[in-house]
Amino acid sequence: MKSALETALRASLAVAALGLLSAAAAAGIVWTPEKGWCKSPDTEALKGSAEFDRAFELYVAGKYSKSSHILENVVETAAGPLKEDASILLAECLLGKKDYRGALAGFGAFARDYPGSRHLSRAMEGQLEIARALLSGEKIRLFALRIWPAYWLGEKAVDKIASARPLSIYARKAQMVLARSYFRRRLYIEAAATYRQAVELFPNGPHIAEALLGLSRSYIEDTAGPGYNPLPYYGSTSVARDLLRTYPASPEAKAALDVETKAAIGLSRHYFAIAKWYLKMGKTNAAVVYFGKVSKEYPQTRCGKRAKVLVETLSGTAGDKDGK
């Protein structure tokens, strides 16, 4: 009985000691948005790990290549919290060197291998930072040469974030980064799809007004011209009105009014062009109908004012060449 108690006591003491050691080691480095990576104020942290300490000093000094070489060895040989700290810092070194592919792989592996880590938020933010840089036009290196901007890798970073944390704040931010990038590159169909997905997945997020405005703008920019399909103008108007109705005090509300006005001008030109075609074909009655539509629905536009005059002029001569 006594032996069993002694064994249990020793086991519990060992577990407690291990917990204390882990806690001390876990406090090795800490991340803050204001200062970046810093050594923990706990002087006992990572005691005996001179190799990691040297790598951290090199990282702080901006010598990312030298630091990464040391950290690779630490990751291979260390275990527990020390390996955890070395893994996240290695990804940071790769990011510092602008090795975006390596950094993306490093942050992704860390998030997968340490889902309960205190550094998890930084691993996700690191991937988001990579997506932002690449989708803004940053170039990547291949065979020691700079090549074209790697938008494809930025899109891959967004996919990785969304797959790992589908409805998280990181996924929402990544979705908006991707949508803005598509819009800047004039890929309006892709931008509309991405903004629409952001609205559907994060209807209560802080970026919802921006997403609605982006969706409205993408619709209207995707039009081939006023003489073609009017549906994008209607879609843009619908989304802009939804924004104005739901978020009237938002900074995006004024821009939504401008988009709605632009859509109205586009629709007035579209129906005015149809009316002119009917008039050219001798279909005066049909032309009057469309001119009337433009003058009534879009009276403040240039086409609306011209249509009003034409309706008054043509009303007395209504009748088609074929007598219909």
pLDDT for residue 143: 64
Band the pLDDT of 226: cuts 50, 70, 90: low
Q: In whole numbers, what is the pLDDT of the chain averaged over residues?
A: 85
Dihedral angle computed from the Cα positions of residues 212, 218, 224 and 225, in that order, rounded to the nearest 10 degrees: 60
Q: What are the pLDDT digits (tens) for 179-192?
A: 999 999 999 999 99
Q: Rounded CA gap, 310 and 242, in Å?
A: 34
Determine the average pLDDT of the residues in 152-178.
Answer: 94
How large a percentage of the chain has pLDDT more than 90?
66
Q: What integer pLDDT is reported at residue 6 of this predicted model?
A: 52
Q: Buried b / exposed e across 264-292, counting CB within 10 Å, b at 16+?
A: bbbbbbbbbbbbbebbeeebbebbbbbbb
User: Given pLDDT bands bounded at 50, 70 and 90, which one contains residue 296?
Assistant: very high
Is 5's pLDDT higher than 60?
A: no
Element (H, E) at 37: strand 36-39
Mean pLDDT of 124-130: 96
Phi, psi of 74 (to 5 degrees): -65, -45
DSSP-derived 3-state class of residue 14: helix
Average pLDDT value for residue range 276-290: 93
To 5 degrees, how large is the angle CA 201–CA 207–CA 209? 100
∠159-137-169 over CA atoms, to 5°? 35
Mean pLDDT value of segment 59-76:
92
Question: pLDDT band at 64, cuts 50/70/90?
Answer: very high
Fill in the amino acid letter for 271: Y
Interval 28-52: pLDDT, tens: 788 887 788 887 766 455 544 788 8
pLDDT over 50 (residue 254): yes
Residue 154 has pLDDT above 60, yes or no: yes
The residue count of the chain comes to 324
Q: CA 52 to CA 48: how far, in whole Å?
A: 9
In percent, how much of the chain has pLDDT > 70? 83
Q: Please, how many CA atoms are within 13 Å of residue 120, restricted to the half-sphere of its CB?
A: 13
18's enclosing H/E stretch is helix 2-26
| Stretch 301-321: mean pLDDT | 81
Which helix (H) or strand (E) is 101 found in, with range? helix 100-113
pLDDT for the residue numbered 32: 80
d(CA 284, CA 278): 7
CA angle 33, 34, 38 (to 5 degrees): 85
Per-residue pLDDT, 13? 41
Assess whether pLDDT exceeds 50 at residue 218. Answer: yes
Residue 194 tokens read as: 């991405």
Q: How confident is the model at residue 9 (pLDDT cuts 50, 70, 90)?
A: very low
